[in-house]
Structure 1
Amino acid sequence: MTEIHDAEAGTATAAAARSHARAQAGTVVDCMPQLPPPPGVLWSETVVGGGYTHLALPAGAHVTLTDRDGDACAQVVLFVTGRPWERLNPADTVKVQWNAYLREGSQLLSDQGRVLATLVADTSGRHDALAGASTRARNSARYGDGSAHGPSPAGRELLVLAAAKHGLTPRDLPAPVSFFRGVTVDADGVLHATGSAGPGARVVLRLEQDATLLLANTAHPLDPRPGWHCTPLQVTAVPGEVTGPGDPHWDATPERHRAHLNTAALGAR
């Protein structure tokens, strides 16, 4: 009881609460933004399992996602900054590129046929553009609680919170793509989880337009394990250049070349 009363006394007045809050300056925990970011870095953060982040970044920025401990799942949505009606379309991402599996060189496309991001590096190979985000109802049925602030938060709930920070509503959210949790699809359309690539796997996304990135780090909806599992995810963004003529990604395939031309024609570059 003494410790409880001492803690309460330490914040019993506005002045005491202010002193207590200021005393936390310099405290470092395992999962938090790095402020200020290192020189030459736009943003650096470790997102806790069950957490989310949101970033508005310039065209050309390179966003590195790292599965630090081997059990992260980065569920990512992208919007064009200032033009939020243009957003990630996983169905077109798969359909236009004739491939259900994301890999190095894959583009993340909008429904306008333009490129939002290019996957320029990938040591994981375990990703998913098909299953979407976990939902509160599903997580509640599986784990007992799917709320955003509960012990087993659903991806959809976390993305709703991230979207709200940018004036976006639940109706604005498309399905995400997920990095670091693999999925395969049978000929009859049945999806199968293939797990993670292990600790240290990373992907690098090159943003091809000014973009708002929303990210939820939470268990994949097809994770077959009975319990909820998710470990920290590292997110780092640095300045860079968009894909242009002469870059191997510019005309790697006819479809990708056309998507880059569509993006360039908009004047986004």
Structure 2
Amino acid sequence: MAAKQDWVVTTAQLRANGAERADLRRMTRAGQWLPLTRGSYWLGRDARGPSLRARLRGLLLTCDSQAMAAGPTAARLLGIQGLPPDDGTLHVAVPHGTIRSRPGVHVYRTPVPDHARTTLRGIPLTTPARTCADLLLQLPRTEAVSMLDSALHQGVFTSADRLTLPAHLSGRPGASRARAWLPLADARAESPLETRIRLICLDGGLPPPVLQWRIPDPAQNRTYRIDLGWPAHLIGIEADGQGPHGTPQALYQDRFRQNRLATLVPGLTLLRFTWADTYRPGSILIPLRQALQRP
């Protein structure tokens, strides 16, 4: 039973299978069963602890049958990036019922129409379109556009879904602001860091003409890509995230790549920026303006 439920069972299920209260106390004290939300236990053996799915499963098994993952929780289940850091809170939507917000659980008491509901390996949640619409109304501009870029790039959110967003936003607080951000989304952005840098350039009056600027290398039978490009000026920007670029091997590969690009595109100016730079827009815009010879 637990294996079919992300290694989660409820107190009622345990009691139905012969467990007594003393058994629950003993297994909990022994660390064999980990209490999740009220009335559910995790029986898994992963050293990392219960996953988001397991924690959510524990909540859904013990609350209103109409409850479903929503907002940031639905987005994380769908694999969408660009969200604020996860503080562990589970976000669920319910049309009515007894479940209420409490520490670790945020409840949206709102009706979700049938066309905005779906399931993901047995977990009920809002559809990608509804999830993105909800987050557009909740997040600041940078995170909202980063979220949309990620959903589009990964194919979680399709071009057809994008056309339905105005309907999902209609009549809701903040809809006008959210609609204004829709044209900023671009499926070519490969990371939230790229999105942040692109928005800084856009706000600074220096929008990149090209995303994923392709530089062919016939000698090596491959093509390099530069994250943001101004080809007419031979200027490119690379977004150096800590994950892809943080290892010694990555440093060696980046150096080889940059040297190769300088050979393939004589006169190329390649600027590199990190997450820290996005908190100081001037550290991006000043060298970019100088390279473009703009005031």
TM class by shorter chain equals: under 0.3
Select the structure that is richer in helix.
2
Q: Which has the higher contact order (CA 8 A, sep 6+)?
A: 1
Q: What is the TM-score normalised by the length of structure 1?
A: 0.26
Larger radius of gyration between Structure 1 and Structure 2: 2
Q: What is the TM-score normalised by the length of structure 2?
A: 0.24
